[in-house]
Amino acid sequence: MEKHLGARIAAEIAATGPMPFTRFMELALTDPADGYYTGPTVRAGKTGDFITAPELHPLLGSAIARTASETWQRIGMPASFTWIEFGAGAGALLCAAVEQWHRDDAPILSALNVMIVEANPYRREELQARLRALPGGGPQVLPLQPVQAGIVIANEFLDALPFHILVGRPTSKNGFMERCVSVAPNSADLCWVECEPEHSTVDRLREQLAGNPLVEGQLAEVSLAATAWVAALPSLLTSGLVLVLDYGRVSSELRDPATRMAGTALAYQGHRASTNLLAEPGERDITAHVDLTALRGTAAAAGLTHIAATTQAAYLASTGLDDEVARLRTGPEATLESALALRGALAHLMDPRRMGGFAVEAFALGSTEQLARLTDEGNPLPGTAAPIRRLV
């Protein structure tokens, strides 16, 4: 019988030595046999471990549908426009957007294709089934490949990509050491040990800490996977928009020892957060805040134009939320149940201490003319009207 994941991790450590947390996290979340995100168990939802905006209510999908329609028009209504969604789960966001386009009888539907990056084969199947149940059988799902025009969406995806955990050691060569995972002596328990960062990553780790050195013992997460993701986007999409929605902060806030001595990494199980990241690998979600400074800096270096840095509440408020709320409250399809669900969802989605405070970052790609239309300050793209928060 296959050994369970914890035993396999311990065996790998015994064979090759302590592993960077990135390797532990890759196994804990996406190991094909035992990873948290790869099995049939539904992780999002009231009975799961966490809830996301699209799983809570279709409002965010309706909002993104409006932003995407307008993007498509401003880049010249190309014959093909692709919704490329990373970590799409079972497709709640996409289906809500498609339903919104059907209600609006939106012309973008005739150009729409879909590409999905989703580690979980069960969720991918569910997504396909949900699309097939939509009017007209839903848009076509194509294999991931470079496209000319489209919108890239990552809702609560980057926070789940493997990150390094660094610990401030001002007297060491680099000013920090890396937290690695080992096996405790005389027990089978996993434990932390400090290692020199690997030669292949140390320069990039140092770069991301630049300007915000860690104090003695301070923990900080660095996701080279998240920055590699954004750097690769121009080879996937030529014209259109990139929308990143996640919990994130600028790096000066993330590395502030007064508030972030322990970093931001947490494990989630049954809607409860824990700082014990090593327990029950494969049974808990593991996340950390997205470093918005690193995301924006990498995006700029890759040639993306940063067009909005706002919050989910402000994004929703500036993408026709009022119309959608009115439809759900008083429109012909309104029911008591839908009105109550709406009220509960709004409390989560608009509250700045909850999902309303999530970061929404928008980046544009395209020709000079297309960029001018996507960044028109006199007529901002829906959702991008809120001012760009100053990078401090």
| Nearest to ligand SAM of 41, 275 (CB atom) | 41
178 scored as a contact of ligand SAM (CB under 6 A): no
The site map against ligand SAM for 128-147 (x = CB under 6 A) is --------------------
* Residues between 69 and 108 with contacts to ligand SAM, criterion CB under 6 A: 87-89, 92
282 scored as a contact of ligand SAM (CB under 6 A): no
Instruction: Name the residue number minimizing CB distance to ligand SAM.
Output: 87
Collapsing DSSP to helix, strand or coil, 268 comes out as: strand
- For the chain, count helices (H), then strands (E): 14, 17
55 scored as a contact of ligand SAM (CB under 6 A): yes
| Nearest to ligand SAM of 53, 294 (CB atom) | 53
Helix, strand, coil percent values for the chain (each to nearest 5): 40, 20, 40
In the complex, the smallest distance separating the C-beta of residue 160 from ligand SAM, rounded to whole angstroms, is 4
156 scored as a contact of ligand SAM (CB under 6 A): yes
d(CA 256, CA 167): 13
d(CA 180, CA 231): 26
Tokens of 286: 């593991």
In the complex, the smallest distance separating the C-beta of residue 142 from ligand SAM, rounded to whole angstroms, is 17
What's the one-letter identity of residue 157?
F
Q: Which stretch binds ligand SAM (CB under 6 A): 29-37, 67-75, 179-187, 344-352?
A: 29-37
CB 359 within 8 A of CB 292: yes
Which string of DSSP letters, residue by residue, matches 205-252? HHHHHTTSPPPTT-EEEE-HHHHHHHHTGGGTEEEEEEEEEESEE-HH
155 scored as a contact of ligand SAM (CB under 6 A): yes
119 scored as a contact of ligand SAM (CB under 6 A): yes
d(CA 96, CA 138): 12
233 scored as a contact of ligand SAM (CB under 6 A): no
Binding site for ligand SAM (CB under 6 A): 29-30, 37, 44, 52, 54-55, 87-89, 92, 117-120, 123, 155-157, 160-161
